[in-house]
Structure 1
Amino acid sequence: MHQRFAEAYPGPAPTVYGEQETTFEAQRAMQESRLEQPWSPFADIEEWELARWMAKSVNQTEADEYLKLNIVKNRMNLSFKSKYMFFKKIDNLPGGPCEVPLEEEHELWMRNPVECIVDLIGNPAFREFMGYSPERVFDAEDGSNQMFDEMWTGEWWWKMQSRLPAGRVVSPVILSSDKTKLTAFHGDKSAWPVYLTIGNISKDIRRQASAHAMVLIGYIPVSKFSCFRLSSRSAASHRFFHHCMTVLLQPLEKAGRDGVRVRHIHPILAAYIADHPEQCLIACCKENRCPKCTVLPNNRGSSTLADLRTEEFRRERGVFEARIRPVFKPFWESLPFTDIFLSITPDILHQLHKGVFKDHLVSWVTTILRKKDIDDRFSCIPDHPGLRHFKIGITFEHKEMQKVLLGILAGAVNSRVVSAAQGLLDFIFYAQYHRHTEETLARMTAALERFHKYQDVFIELGIRDHFNIPKIHSMVHYIDCIRASGSLDGYNTEISERLHIDYAKKAYAASNKRDYHEQMTIWLCRQEAIVRQTAYLDWCSSSLTANTEGSDDEDSGSDSDGEEEDEPEQVDAPRIVDLASSRSVDRAYSLTKTPSRRMVSVRTIEEEFGIHDFIPSLNKFLRSNITHYSPANRHDKFSLHSSIRILIPAAGHVKDSKRVVRVRLRAAQLRLVFELPSHLGAFPHPLVYVHWFRNFPSHPDPQTGMYGLTRSTHNHLPNGQVLAATRLFSGCHVIPQFGRDAVPPEWSSLNVLDKASSFFFNHYLDFYIFERVNRSS
């Protein structure tokens, strides 16, 4: 059983200064005073649903054409008769803080970040997913194995809390910015959105674009600075970015210093999500420097951590070392309690997936091996539902390639190349964990050390001259960042890249492509109003249900007359939470209701599925598991299923959809899923036929860390067995041990399991198998 033991911060609990209406409560009270329904200003809920569909799915021209249709005008009796009236109603819906242009040479479209933070905290949809106090969490009661997942479990929040007055609440501000192109094939139209969220909201919610927990707070103007000399444009663009960010974040200065009277929060910049060029822009350093530490460009291949760029570094070293770019007033200089260098978070997408793996590791190994040899091996990888099929070899699916690359390299390249590749792949997998412990961080550190131990082999082979590579160097900062701010899945640039679709590309597509920033912000305001109204109606519906059910404690409060409303009220302290699955079963499976094939003969099963002993194996199962049965014979017919899904208990280091449990396992090839005919006996579960592999060896292969497997045979034929579907633990994947020789031309992904004689158990298939293998190794 996995338990979670939390140590509360040893100070006064965060205080609540009375209670104030949420925005939804205030909106409902206003409507009730006017005798209006929740869906006002629309006539009824059906008209609201039509309006929501029109606002989200059709452009202005299409909306006008729709409203002019005779059937709409004559039969639907809508309260809005034209496009103008429709958009006027949309614009009258309550919305979040909206953008205000500051007109100068460039228009900066922005909204108040403090109001956005207050709006996020006051959103009833996030109420059950908020944290207001730091805590230290352990998976053992003696505090021997600290855990890091949410931002409030990191060291940064714990230290920051000690710098604030008692009872104040830290609201960690998380920013993200990334310039993106708005046109796919032609033109130079770009947008530079800036997004904001807060660490008080659970990272699982922040990652969901549909939850709207990360909000757009402005567009930085994109300019070519043609009025500057060519040599000055770069410096001008850097200063312009910092000036815009200073204006955009100016409300955070007073709010971070003095607090905001919503639980008396202090919004403090805690994390900045960006790719490497933008990280350097933010840190005011050149792109051949590290934005987090003072390492010299020619020392970036070392595993030794250089002095960090901290607040003390800025004070002691001065302008020339701390601000290498000629930016006279960085936007973060006046933000209270902010250490921008500590705030810059790792970028798994660009640094690891696209950088370390695609641009470097794959490039190195394809220089060692002929591309044809690698392509042949990729195309022979056995199919699996959780793995992309590499029909033509190497692809752009780099996350999928990571799952099989080590098995492809084993035996074909220098053993030190394999060891270096294993170190990088292990590090990439650990970096994606959703929850870390001291144990997983130690393994992550060992993986990085393994790569650095063997990296010189690439220099010896003439592939590299050095390892002074920014993305390779960035990995030395990952572990410290996890300790400071929690697991890295909450800071992935994939989040902002996904938001570009809604806040940039769709908004641009809705404009007439001229003066598009203004049109984009108007369109986004309307979309936000639609989303907000939908959430409000959902809240009204849930509130109505709760009020109907009633509450026994409705009148059990104090007799206060309200005069002491502003007195601080203590909130609940952290408590021990049991993380074990609430499921009462260890494993479960699911099948389609209807078999994919019925009345299949034994002969067809033997020929199509490669099963030589189906009837003997089935009768052996019947004798062992059913008291009253009839022996099967070759005249029986069977119903078959084409697939089966396995679900097992939850593991904290990955999402709930990824599951793990500790049991003794053995690998097998699933050949058949079938139902037992009723005339043979009664059994409550479907049956499967498998071909066994031999038991796992006691230790994995020392070069790859993968367990070797061979077929289990009987009289030189595969050793098969019929089992209940409940015996299945999870899907797994094996990779042929290709060795040094070329892939035989007759091998393919469909027959390689029958052609090859030895395999590797591929624990890189998914995170829960990866964790189980590495935890037990």
Structure 2
Amino acid sequence: MWLEDIIKLNSLIPPLDPANIEHHIPHEPELGGKAMVVDFGDVGGEFGDEENIMGGGILGEGGEDGHIFLNLFDSDENSVHRKNNLYYPFSSQRDWQVAAWLLRSGLSMGKIDSFLSLEMIKDLPLSFSSAKELRGRAEMLPSSPRWMSKVIPTLHATKSPVVLYWRDPLECIASIFNNPLFHNHIDFRPRKVYTTAEKQCHVYTEWMTGNDAWDMQAAIPSGATLLSTILSSNKTNITALTGDHIAHPLLISLANIHMNIQLKLSLDAFVLTALLPVPKFVHKKKRMKGVLEDHLIHQSMMLAMVGGKTSPVTMAMYKQFGDAFQHEPQMKSTTLAQCTVVRSRADPLNIEAFFCEAQKFRLNGVAEPFFQDWILIEPSRFFTPEDLHHIHKEFWDHDAQWLICAVGESKIDFWFSILQPITGYQHFYGGISKLKQVTGHCHCDVQQYIIAVCADAAPGVLTAVHALMQFRYCVQSPCINDDDIRHISGALDEFHSNKDSIIANIVPSIHNSGVIRQWSVDVTEHANCQHFELTTSLLDAKQTTEQLENTNIDADDADAGADTPIKLPHYFAIARALQYRPVGSVPLPLHSFVVGHTAFHITYDPSIRNISIDRVTIKFSLPDLQPAIADFIQREVTCGDQHIYAMSSPRRGAHMAILPFDQVQVWFKVHLQETEFHDAYTIRPAQTLNCAPPCNPWNLGHYDAAIVQTSAGFSWPSSGLSGMGDVIPLSQLRVPINLVPRFGATADKHLTVYNSMEHAIEFWLNEYWEKKTHSSPYQHSI
């Protein structure tokens, strides 16, 4: 609610912290190790300077029009009472906490009255004693966009009235725009980014770095600020278990918000703006029911109007999807001209005759598309690709099935089942061929391994699938430049199949609208689940329209009581805090520390608290452990603790070298946390490296692979790789990696999940295991 927002405002805008605040450096910021110049200057003669682009300044900074969050809150009629009591109309913070819990609980008015009538509750100093009084006080808070409803008349019979619930989209956009959570995370002007000052290589990231934003800014009046809206919807039976109610939620957001903020579900960058109706039409032909639904959706402002088996972004139909060239784009003028011709041949009220004529142009029978009077838009541009369906689901529906058929179900299932499990990652103990209800996360998990697992089988199919996998990983990068686009296009050129005319739309979309990662529907599909309670209440037959329209409670409260997302460990922050603790207050050596862009953490309690070196030698099967430790200590004495130790040099210490100690502590796990390759201020989830001795069921031990820095002249990830083995400081670890045994044409049937790594002679370095690994320059030099 707004009251909580104002209470937390100071915490929402904390002091700058380089570990979690995105810094905007106007000249040559660091971007994946590349120099970058941000240019707002003359391009095609459109803009001469920043003032031309901005048209007089940033909205909300020095302008007189509009209201920022605090202006709107302070203009409320009750703002005078909040000078002394910030929680007004509630008496105190505790009073508000009880009220907020009740308002979000989903309890009916009667149940709230029953709760408040309990003797123990009556003894609390609450400012309300009934549900009606509670609701009255809540109504005194500043209003969020109000819900409205309208019965939509239809010319064809339906089983129940068609009701559209919506909130004013402009009010929704305003509520997002002035949300203090997005302070300093919104772009107000388009920009062009280059890798060098010569401006030879264009970099695409946010929507404001694409060509469309630049062209639109040139077309709108001087002084206007360009705001790009994102509409997302997913027709799902989200209320199928509550009275057979089905709705079509429509979410809205701003493309101006930085994608690393927008894609965080917990920040609520998407607002529910409408529940589009899904009526049940009465018609003898099933296909005509679908046409009538399309009419209604466009009447309610929704999707594209191309017919089935036709591309929404080009003029190609399904029989032309295999063409080696990209068909001309689906233009608004073309679609509207075709609609005009269809209307001249058939009456739109005669649904069957109109549909027959529309089919000749491969249209779906909608007479008036929702975008017909929108300016500066083209269907081929605003229907952007997104990774969940265009990347991950396409992989599972096609590429994975090709490899399963080429390799064989039993063989590929066995190969997947004997891969060594990695902490925090999905393992397919039963293989992949029989998976049911496969989700987007599962699609990604299979992608991580399938190329390396099938590397020695079906070379013809693997070449095409490998090219597509290169394409997928490249286009998911949060930062793509012209060189990357040439690499993406080259991967597509290598892939010769009937998917060219669909996937080829991604390259021009990157030019026009920025990277496709920002259009991910993963966050909006989760948001649909968050709005489940609100959707149910809006569609509940017991709730009348009058009740809905008189409600002044923020509709987003329906999900405000949802479980708080699990906070990931932040070892960078822990290490930084330990550095500033008073001397002697923290045990040494530190168990959390940072080297470069990697944070390290081990638990305070070791796996083995006290053990002799001889027993460690036997337990871990390391016959040269004692001389290796002796060499390590000698290098430590000679070079100091800041030295990068070389590895795999000849042993200098004797087999029975005398050490200054004979007991050690042993840890079986270490946690590594890195920053994003393209954004050094974004922290990635921590990864666990295992190094456990033989035990049941790991009879040969449980060891993970990692990249280690072996020389001060090397720096991950720009340096190549080679195999090593020695005693090294923990600080020289850089990143976990995934090795997949090379199974050959047929894997040994005696291999299991616990011994496949130990019995393998050759390994594939799996570049697809982590997107950061794939994005790193090292992959081209292995």
TM-score range, shorter chain: 0.7 to 0.9
Q: Percent identity?
A: 21
Gaps of 5+ in 1: 247-281, 456-466, 535-582, 661-668, 674-687, 697-706, 713-718
TM-score by length of 2: 0.74
Aligned equivalent of 2:346: none
**Which of 48, 52, 55 in structure 2 is aligned with 1:14?**
55
Report deviation, 1:361: 1.5
Question: In structure 2, how many angstroms separate the alpha carbons of the residues matched to 1:323 and 1:138?
Answer: 41
Q: What residue is the counterpart of 1:69 in the other structure?
A: 118
Partner of 1:444: 488
What residue is the counterpart of 2:149 in the other structure? 101
The match for 1:591 is: 602
Task: Determine if the alignment matches structure 1 residue 726 to structure 2 residue 731.
Answer: yes
Match of 1:602 among 586, 605, 613: 613
CA offset digits 1:707-744 (Å, max 9, x no partner):
9999x6xxxxxx74100011111101100011012x22
AA aligned to 2:304 is: A
Structure 1 pair 338–451 and aligned structure 2 pair: CA distance change class (3 A): same
Say which SS state the counterpart of residue 504 (structure 2) adopts: helix
Aligned equivalents of 2:296, 2:382: Cα separation in 1: 21
Aligned 1:645-724 pairs, distance under 5 A: 645-648=671-674, 650-652=676-678, 656-658=682-684, 671=691, 720-724=725-729
The 8 Å contact of residues 411 and 739 in structure 1, kept in 2 or not, is answered as yes
Q: Which range moved further: 79-88 or 358-367? A: 79-88
Equivalent residues in 2 for 1:147-226, closer than 5 Å: 147-183=203-239, 188-226=244-282
Q: Which of 319, 336, 340 is 2:375 aligned to? A: 336
- In the other structure, the counterpart of 1:270 is none
Q: Are the equivalent residues in 1 in contact too, given 2:245–2:539 (CA < 8 A)?
A: no
Q: Is the Cα contact below 8 Å between 1:434 and 1:654 reproduced in 2? A: no
Q: CA deviation at 1:235?
A: 1.5
Tell me, in whole angstroms, the C-alpha distance in 2 between the residues paired with 1:359 and 1:618.
52
Measure how far apart 1:45 and its partner are. 1.1
Q: Secondary structure at the match of 1:645?
A: strand
Query: 334, 339, 361: which is aligned to 2:399?
Result: 361
Evaluate the alpha carbon distance shift between residue 530 and residue 106 of structure 1 in structure 2; reply closer, same or farther with a 3 A threshold: closer
Query: In the superposition, relative to structure 1, how do residues 351 and 447 fare at CA in structure 2: closer, same or farther (>3 Å)?
Result: same
- 1:486 and 2:486 matched: no
User: 1:27-79 deviations in whole A, cap 9, x for unaligned?
Assistant: 235444345522111110111122223333453365444323221112x1211
Question: Which residue is equivalent to 1:735?
Answer: 740
Q: Tell me whether 12-21 or 630-639 shows the greater mean CA deviation.
A: 630-639
Q: Does 1:641 align with 2:682?
A: no
Query: Residues 217-254 of structure 1: CA distance to partner in whole angstroms, max 9, x if unpaired?
Result: 111111111267545212211111111118xxxxxxxx
CA distance in 1, matches of 2:85, 2:707: 66
Q: 1:283 touches 1:291 (CA, 8 Å); kept in 2?
A: yes
Q: Which moved more, 1:290-299 or 1:84-93?
A: 84-93
The whole-number CA distance in structure 1 between the counterparts of 2:117 and 2:194 is: 64
Closer, same or farther: CA 522–364 of 1 in aligned 2, 3 Å: farther
Q: Distance in 2 between matches of 1:586 and 1:500?
A: 36
Is residue 618–residue 722 contact of structure 1 (8 Å, CA) maintained in 2? yes
* Residue 304 of structure 1: aligned partner: 325
Cα distance between partner residues in 2 of 1:588 and 1:410: 33
Matches within 5 A, 1:186-335: 188-226=244-282, 230-245=286-301, 282-314=303-335, 319=340, 324-335=363-374
Unaligned residue ranges in structure 2 (runs of 5+):
1-32, 42-46, 58-62, 153-160, 341-357, 563-593, 642-652, 694-701, 711-718
Cα deviation, residue 18, structure 1: 2.7
**Which residue number corresponds to residue 698 of structure 2?**
none
State the match for 2:80 in structure 1: 33
Q: 2:463 aligns to what SS in structure 1? A: helix
Q: Which amino acid aligns with 1:33?
A: V
Q: Distance in 1 between matches of 2:242 and 2:501?
A: 35
Structure-to-structure mapping, 1:402-481, within 5 angstroms: 402-413=447-458, 415-452=459-496, 455=497, 467=498, 473-481=501-509
Q: Secondary structure at the match of 1:289?
A: coil
How far apart are the structure 2 equivalents of 1:760 and 1:108?
55
Instruction: Measure, in 2, the Cα distance between the counterparts of 1:130 and 1:693.
Output: 37
Specify the code of the residue in structure 2 equivalent to 1:362.
A
Deviation (angstroms), 1:169? 1.6
Check 1:584–1:747 CA distance in 2 against 1; reply closer, same or farther (3 A cut). closer
Structure 1 pair 530–510 and aligned structure 2 pair: CA distance change class (3 A): closer
Cα deviation 1:677-724 (Å, max 9, x = unaligned): xxxxxxxxxxx999999999xxxxxxxxxx9999x6xxxxxx741000
Alpha-carbon deviations, 1:318-366, whole Å to 9, x = none?
A: 6557771221111100122222331001132122212x21111122222
Instruction: Indicate the residue corresponding to 2:576 in structure 1.
Output: none
Letter of the aligned partner of 2:64 in structure 1?
Answer: G
* Distance in 1, Cα, partners of 2:750 & 2:228: 58
Q: Displacement of 1:515 after TM fit? A: 4.9
Q: What is the total number of aligned residue pairs between the two structures? A: 634
Q: Which moved more, 1:647-656 or 1:85-94?
A: 647-656
1:140-172 residue CA offsets vs partner (Å, 9 max, x unmatched)? 222122111111100001111111122222111
Deviation at 1:485, TM superposition (A): 0.8
Query: Paired residue for 2:589?
Result: none
Secondary structure of the corresponding residue to residue 245 of structure 1: coil
Calculate the aligned-residue CA RMSD, in Å: 3.7
Structure 2: how far apart are the matches of 1:691 and 1:389?
17
1:722 match: secondary structure = coil
Partner Cα separation in structure 1 for residue 257 and residue 377 of structure 2: 20
1:107 and 1:234 map into 2 onto residues whose CA distance is 18
Any conservation in 2 of the 1:404–1:764 contact (CA below 8 Å)?
A: yes
Distance 1:522 1:655 in 2: 45
Does 2:442 match 1:393?
A: no
Who is 1:350 aligned against?
Answer: 389
Counterpart AA for 1:305 = Q
Relative to structure 1, the CA distance from residue 439 to residue 66 in structure 2 (aligned partners, 3 Å threshold; closer, same or farther) is: farther
AA matched with 2:755: N
Q: Conserved in 2, the CA contact under 8 Å of 1:150 and 1:487?
A: yes
- The farther-off stretch of 424-433 and 508-517 is 508-517
Q: Which residue of structure 2 aligns with residue 506 of structure 1?
A: 533
Contact preservation (8 Å) 2:38, 2:192: yes
Map of 2:566 onto structure 1: none
Offset, 1:292: 0.4
Q: CA 1:68 to 1:694, structure 2 compared with 1: closer, same or farther past 3 Å? A: closer
Secondary structure, aligned partner of 2:277: coil
Residues 146 and 524 (structure 1), Cα distance of their counterparts in 2 relative to 1, 3 Å cut: farther
* Deviates most, 22-31 or 637-646: 22-31
User: Structure 1 stretch 316-325 or stretch 589-598: which is displaced more?
Assistant: 316-325
Q: Is the 8 A contact 2:210 2:510 kept in 1?
A: yes
Paired letter, 1:84: K
Mapped to 1, the partners of 2:369 and 2:64 lie a distance apart of 38
Match of 1:79 among 127, 130, 154: 127
Change over 3 Å in CA distance of 1:511–1:157 after alignment to 2: closer
Q: Which amino acid aligns with 1:482?
A: I
User: 1:569-584 alignment to 2 at 5 Å?
Assistant: none
Q: Deviations over 1:166-190 (max 9, x none)?
A: 2222111111121121246697432
Flag the 1:689–1:758 CA change in 2: closer, same or farther, 3 A: closer
Counterpart secondary structure, 1:730: strand
Q: Identify the match of residue 59 of structure 1 among 107, 113, 116.
A: 107
Distance 1:6 1:653, change over 3 A: same
In the alignment, is the contact (CA less than 8 A) between 2:36 and 2:195 conserved in 1? yes
